[in-house]
Each structure stands twice: as C-alpha cells, then as structure tokens.
Structure 1
Amino acid sequence: TDQEYLILKEEGWKYSPDIVILCFLANDFWDNILNFTLRGYGKPKFEIVNEKLVLKNVPVPIPENFKKKFALFSFLEAHFYTYSFLENLIYKNKLLNKKRQIPSWFNYEYIYYKNPPEIIKESIEVTGRILREINMSALKKNVKFIVVYLPSKEQFSISSKKEINYSLPHLYIQEICHKENIKFLSLYPLFKKTLGGKKIEEFYFKDGHFNKKGYLTAGKIIAEFLKKEVFNKRIF
C-alpha cells in the first residue's frame, strides 16, 4: 500500500483518472510496516511522527549481502517460476529466512492473532493514515477512490490455534474505510458465499495467489460492484 501510494503521487495522478481502485491483501499490513520485502531487498516505509505521516528509509539502501551474494538468487526467484518451485522444494523455512535475511522475530501469522503484537497495531494505524492521504487527494481531484479487499487462501482454512482468527485483516481494513468514509468492497464474505461446496483449490494456486478462475471470479464481483455502487448501473 505504501509503495502504491508513492507511485500514485509520482505517476498515477498524471493520467487524470476518474476512479482509483486499491486492492488490499492481508499481507499488506506487514508490507506497510517493514523497511524490507520478503524477497530480502529494501523498501521505503511510512511512520507516524508527531501525528504526521513521514516517509522513511529513502533513498532505499541496498544491503551488501543482497548485492553480492543474493542478487542472482533474487532475480531468478522473481522471474522464473521453475526456480521458485525448486527452491520451495529444496529449502526449509529456516534456511530460506536466513538466505533472505528475514529477522527471526518475523511471524506472518501475527496479522491473524486475536491479540496482535504492537508492530501489527502500529501497521494498522499507518495503513489507515496512508488510505486517508489517498482519499483526501482523491476528493480534492474529484476522483472516486475504492478499496477492495482480496482474501488470502489461508483465510478459508480452520486453524487449530485458538489465538488465530482469519477474518481479522478483513475487519481491520473495513473499520479503517468506514472511519475514513472510503467506499469499500470486501471479497472475503462474497468469496465464501460464491465458493459454496466448491474447494478453495479451484480458485487459488498452491502458493496462495489467485489462479485464472480466481481472478475471473474476483473481476466479475468487482465489475458488478462498480456498475451498481459507483456508476449507478450504467454499463461501461
């Protein structure tokens, strides 16, 4: 979300859009609070300082270990599915995390914890401020701004851990949009309804991303929402 906001400011507004749609996933709460990506390279991040949203970690530093040792691995991982597939077969999580320089304290499941750690609470606050800034800019330009929540594959699972609630990211972003008066569409409950007795594997790849059927289903739901809620049933 943070990098999408920066791209919108630097490039997106140049095209004078009529509508801006931001797709949000559960892992974006992590992305908005970290100064690195899960592929191991750096990124900018926002922090709230004296009640203001302040951009940090710019210019983005390039870690020496990434430049020297992992540049080739990261390139292959980003551009070749075969490499990613083999990598996931060969490496165990601990080794992967070491190679990518992911801190030992990182736990992806924190975003689903009923009592999340402070870093997730901070991320929710930062995410809310970023969306507020986008919405304010859109209002000034008379542009419609919509946030669409895309559910992750694991959110349709049943966890054996009592501290986990897979619906929480959807609820967090819904609350933010309600507070900021941002038009919001969540595909989480709609996908659950659409699934019916179908297996979730019909809509997702093994890595958790939508497959063709998943994207088509999501696209139809979003298009119908736009026709009814944004364009007043006008065909576009």
Structure 2
Amino acid sequence: MALLSVALVAAGAVGEVVVRLTPRLRVNMLMSRSDAALGEVYRPGQRARYSTPEYDHVVVINSHGQHDIEHTWAKPPVVYRVLFLGDSYVEAMQVPAEQIFYRRLEERLNEDAGVQGVRYETIGLGRSGWGPAQELVALEQIGWRYQPDLVVLCFLPDNDFVDSYLPLKQYPSMPYFERMPDGRLVPIPATPDGFKDSWVYGLCKCSQLVCLLRQNVDLLQQMRADAPRVPLRHQVFMEDKPAAWLEAIETTLACVRRMEAMCRERGVGFLCVALTSPVALGQVDLNAQVQRYPAMGGVAFDPAWPYHLLEERLGGVVPYVSMVPTFEQHMAATGKPLHFAKDGHWTAEGHAVAAAFLYDFLTRGKLLQSPAGTR
C-alpha cells in the first residue's frame, strides 16, 4: 500500500510537470468566487494560465474581477466612458487584454481626442455564460458605478436566448428573470455555489493536471448530453423550435428593452450590437454536424433567423446594429476566418475588425456625445 501511494504521488507529480510544460492543452486555471447578486465572479487580481489547443497565455484579472486593464470607479473629468456588456466575447480570454476589441477602440478614439477635447475610456463588463438577463443585473450592480456615458450591449444570438432563460439554461448559479403576463420582469435570484469559496476548490485550482482532467471530463459529459438532441447552442437556428424557446425569446428581448429604458432614464446612450459567430459567417455548416449529433438529421436550419428577429423586434425600438455584413465583407476580401476554428470566438484579427466597425459606426452615427456633466 505504501509503495502504491508513493507511485501515485510520483505519477501525479510527473503529470503535473508534463501539463505545465506542454503548450496548448485545455487548461483553465482561473478562480471564481461566489457572489450574492451575480452568483459567481472571478477573484480579482489573479494571474492564471488559460489555454486550449488553439492558444495558450496568462490571463490577468483586474481589481474589479474583469479581464481588462485597471479602471477607477469614479469617472475622471472630461472623460467619456463607454461600458461594454456581454458574455465570453467581452470577457475575451482568447486574446491578451490589449488586443480586445474595446481596448483597440479606445486607442482609436483617443487619436481624435486632441481635436474633440475629450478623452475616451472603454470598460469591459462580461463573463462567459452571461446573457442579457445576467448583464442587466451586472449593469445594476456594477455598471452604474463606472458612471458610463454610453452602454453597448454585445448580443450573441447563438446562446443569449438560452443564457437568459432558466428553464433552458438549467444553471441556477446565475440570476434570471421571469416575465409576467403584464410584461414586468420579476428577478430570480442566483443560488451561489459555495464550493467556489472552499479550500478544496482552491487546492484543485492549484494543479494544472487536475484542471486539465476536470475540463476534459466536463467536455465529454456535455458532448454525451448533446448527442441525442440538437445542442442548445444550435436550436436557435432551427426553423421549428421547441415551445420553451418562445418564452426564452420574449424574456431576453424584455431584458434588452429594460436596459435601454434604464439608460434613457439616466440620460445615458445605449446601443445593442449583434455579434458574429462561426455559424452566422458560414465557418460551421450545421447540416454537416449530423454525424456527431444524429438528432440534427432532417432538421431545417436558418443561420440568419436570429438576426432577422433582432432587426424586426429591436430595430426602431432601441438603437441596434449587426456586425455580420462587415465581417462577411472582410472574410470575402481577405479569405481569412475571423473566428477560431474549434473555440469559436474571435481571433485577434476578429477583434481588430470589430473595433474598426464600432469606431466607424459610433463616430459616423454621432452616438458619442459630450461626457455627462459637460452637456
């Protein structure tokens, strides 16, 4: 028994060294903690390895728990703040912080600062797994503390409807809303996962080997759960959706409209931007997924449907724009994909295209007004 224990410890130590020295394994060393309002947030001030088979780098989380540079809560004088709300696209663990689209946007905007007499500051407030429901809570609990002049909601049609609706998401560790018959949104508080605050969780996160094993087991379990059905992330593109989707869509759109109303009441600008995905840009052919997910056989899909829905339901009601046409034009001109093939998020070039799009749209559309207090 003693020899077996020694052998296991030795094997674990060797495995740990191998994982630490091997690039581009599926390792996420970031640590979270429970939060009464948002369910869970990243522990502030940490540096951790974040890698997949397509990238491998050290992520730095700022003192406010975001993958972004440092920001003060109080807004400095003559500064125009743009707050970006979103999910993993805003979190942007796939690229270094300086390459994130809103960091690039800030740099571009400040090239004009001398002419306009104002300095621009862009702030990211996002987390993987969030949808407009969680982003609405984040705006209420955190976002307003930054005193933003403009709030940009980054909407990802692939999963934002699922992420905002508890009966589909089935993840109670985040906050949601229930839409009443009269249109009111009633909060469904998060049930924080106390394990994220335990010493066992902290100990596990110290081992890259344990993180590697845990993440791959989670991935296999998700693939097994998706095998007999059309995966949730693809259901939004189905022409005939399950009944639960109707309420998921209405609840999500109600959250967006509520955000816009809150901004309007405060005299803050608002913009909803539809992001791109590999499905929307044709990098992923849903009809070719049948071998992995047999339930997708014979199902009719329309990758453009959620974008048509957003244009129909939000266009003219709230300021709204889609990035899809610009990304399609760039891909046609360069022949380069703007999303990682496996991960699915934007590459560094994808972030650059998004930043250029936002710069043109915000400056030409005159959405950038003078900072609050100087109007």
Q: TM-score, length-normalised on structure 2? A: 0.50
Give the superposed CA RMSD: 3.8
Q: 1:114 to 1:75 in 2, by over 3 A?
A: farther
Superposed displacement of residue 15, structure 1: 2.5
2:305 aligned partner, one-letter code: L
Write out aligned runs for 1:29-178 (5 A). Answer: 29-34=161-166, 42-51=173-182, 52-56=184-188, 58-62=189-193, 83=212, 87=216, 91=220, 93-95=222-224, 97=225, 107-157=232-282, 158-160=285-287, 163-178=300-315
Residues 129/231 of structure 1: CA separation in 2 closer, same or farther (3 Å cut): closer
Q: CA separation in 2, counterparts of 1:194 and 1:36?
A: 34
Confirm or deny: 8 A CA contact 1:19 1:143 kept in the other structure. Answer: yes
- Report if the CA contact (8 A) 2:176-2:190 is conserved: no
Corresponding residue of 2:349:
213
Once residues 197 and 160 of structure 2 are traced to their aligned partners in structure 1, the CA distance between those partners, rounded to angstroms, is 25
**1:23 partner SS:** strand
Q: Deviations over 1:87-117 (max 9, x none)?
A: 28x837544x49xxxx978632110011222
Counterparts of 1:10-29 in structure 2, within 5 Å, are: 10-26=141-157, 27-29=159-161
Q: Using the alignment, how far apart are the partners of 1:35 and 1:67 within structure 2?
A: 26
Matches of 1:105 and 1:111 in 2, distance apart?
A: 10
- 5+ residue gaps, structure 2: 1-131, 288-297, 371-375
Partners of 1:138 and 1:10 lie apart in 2 by 14
Equivalent pairs counted in the alignment come to 220
In the TM superposition, what whole-angstrom CA distance separates every residue of 1:171-230 from its partner, at most 9, and x where no partner exists? 222223125x211110112211221154453x1112100010000101110111000113
Deviation track 1:33-82 (CA, whole Å, cap 9, x = no partner) reads 136869x67211111123211111x2415398x999x968x969xx99x8
Return the alpha-carbon distance in structure 1 between the equivalents of residues 339 and 230 of structure 2: 28
**Structure 2 residue aligned with 1:6, among 118, 127, 137?**
137
Distance, in Å, in 1 between the alignment partners of 2:231 and 2:194 is 19
Q: How does 1:178-193 map to 2 (within 5 A)?
A: 178=315, 181-193=317-329
- Amino acid of the structure 1 residue aligned with 2:361: F
Q: Structure 1 residue 136: deviation in Å?
A: 0.9
Q: Is the 8 A contact 2:150 2:269 kept in 1?
A: yes
Percent identity, please: 23
1:126, distance to aligned residue in structure 2 (A): 0.6
Q: Secondary structure at the match of 2:140?
A: helix
Q: Is the 8 A contact 1:33 1:126 kept in 2?
A: yes
SS of 2:240's equivalent in the other structure is coil
User: Alignment partner of 2:328: what SS?
Assistant: helix
Alpha carbons 1:33, 1:119 under 8 Å: kept = no
Is it true that 1:204 corresponds to 2:336 in the alignment?
Answer: no
In structure 1, list runs of 5 or more residues that go unmatched.
none
Higher helix fraction (1 or 2):
1
For the residues of structure 2 that align with 1:116 and 1:122, how far apart are their CA atoms? 11
Q: 1:131-160: CA deviations, max 9, x gaps? A: 111111111111110001111112222443
Q: Which has the higher contact order (CA 8 A, sep 6+)?
A: 1
Alpha-carbon distance in 1 for matches of 2:134, 2:362? 25
Structure with higher Rg: it is: 2
More strand, by proportion: 2
The 8 Å contact of residues 269 and 367 in structure 2, kept in 1 or not, is answered as no
User: Is contact 1:146–1:182 with CA below 8 Å preserved after alignment?
Assistant: yes
